[in-house]
């Protein structure tokens, strides 16, 4: 796509922000990003209604005041992630580990690597998803991240340059079918954000009790190439650093690929929900997760 004048203006603003806040360091810049993003909740109200409805549907046991606090947290968190994404590559590959407090579940990675195959990494828009691949590269595991093309080609190129400087291979989703099988055979860990379904192959599985359209790609690659599947999450802690949580997702092949893909997608989505419940203030509630439901969805389970 040829950039428009609007694209150039957005890109210029992005570069100015990175240039101005970069010298402050990733933590101070993240704090500023949080304060800026909080304006999206109030007074600007950007998608505030969507966030409020989603939190009310998923956490009915919480008070309105508690849910409002969670909503503010999710805006602030997104602002921090945006700043960290822009500035992380300035730390250098060898400094990424300094952002972590600890790693839980590393034995799952060792078991997966011992099988001599690539690994399918399932992540969600929870915590700092950009940090996940950078850390694995830091410890010597080749990583390929599957990315969607952004509307702004200049911003898209900027973000992917940042990923590549951290050693992450970037594969666009429309190239995945062609490129990822070879990368799995070569021992790569494939990172797929699997809680948002665009127009590609997807299936409806329960998420907080409501049918949610969910990408099938992670399940298909894991089953077709007999590759282990791990759920990964870099969750922000009160210290400002992160804990990397790693959990194995059961993948069982019965010979019926369609049924197995459905079952595996249900399982990894249940794992995602478990961690969203643990860190609700770090999830991207502004995304319409229950959009495009099946026609026969009961009224009480429709999109909030």
The answer, as to whether pTM is greater than 0.75, is yes
pLDDT 10s digits, 212-262: 999 999 999 999 999 999 999 999 999 999 999 999 999 999 999 999 999
Question: What are the domain boundaries of the chain?
Answer: 5-301
- Which runs of consecutive H residues, i.e. helices, occur in the chain? 5-21, 26-41, 48-58, 64-87, 106-114, 129-138, 153-165, 176-185, 217-224, 257-278
User: Which pLDDT score, from 0 to 100, does residue 199 have?
Assistant: 67
pLDDT 10s digits, 85-107: 888 877 766 778 889 999 999 99
């Amino acid at each position: 796509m040829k950039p428009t004048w609007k694209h150039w203006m957005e890109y210029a603003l992005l570069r100015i922000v990175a240039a101005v806040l970069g010298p402050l360091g990733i933590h101070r810049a993240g704090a500023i990003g949080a304060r800026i993003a909080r304006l999206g909740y109030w007074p600007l109200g950007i998608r505030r209604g969507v966030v409020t409805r989603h939190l009310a549907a998923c956490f009915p046991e919480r008070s309105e005041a508690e849910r409002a606090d969670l909503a503010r947290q999710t805006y602030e968190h997104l602002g921090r992630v945006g700043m960290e994404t822009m500035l992380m590559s300035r730390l250098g590959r060898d400094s990424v580990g300094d952002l972590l407090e600890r790693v839980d579940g590393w034995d799952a990675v060792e078991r997966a690597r011992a099988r001599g195959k690539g690994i399918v990494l399932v992540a969600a828009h929870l915590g700092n998803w950009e940090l996940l691949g950078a850390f694995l590269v830091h410890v010597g595991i080749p990583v390929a991240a599957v990315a969607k093309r952004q509307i702004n080609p200049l911003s898209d190129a900027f973000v992917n340059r940042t990923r590549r400087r951290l050693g992450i291979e970037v594969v666009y989703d429309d190239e995945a079918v062609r490129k990822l099988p070879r990368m799995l055979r070569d021992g790569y860990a494939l990172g797929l954000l699997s809680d948002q379904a665009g127009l590609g192959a997807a299936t409806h599985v329960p998420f907080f009790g409501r049918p949610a359209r969910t990408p099938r790609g992670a399940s298909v690659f894991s089953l077709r190439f007999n590759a282990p599947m791990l759920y990964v999450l870099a969750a922000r802690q009160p210290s400002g650093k992160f804990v990397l949580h790693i959990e194995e997702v059961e993948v069982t092949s019965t010979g019926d690929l369609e049924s197995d893909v459905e079952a595996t997608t249900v399982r990894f989505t249940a794992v995602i929900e478990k961690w969203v419940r643990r860190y609700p203030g770090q999830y991207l509630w502004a995304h319409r997760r229950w959009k495009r439901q099946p026609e026969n969805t009961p009224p009480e389970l429709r999109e909030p």
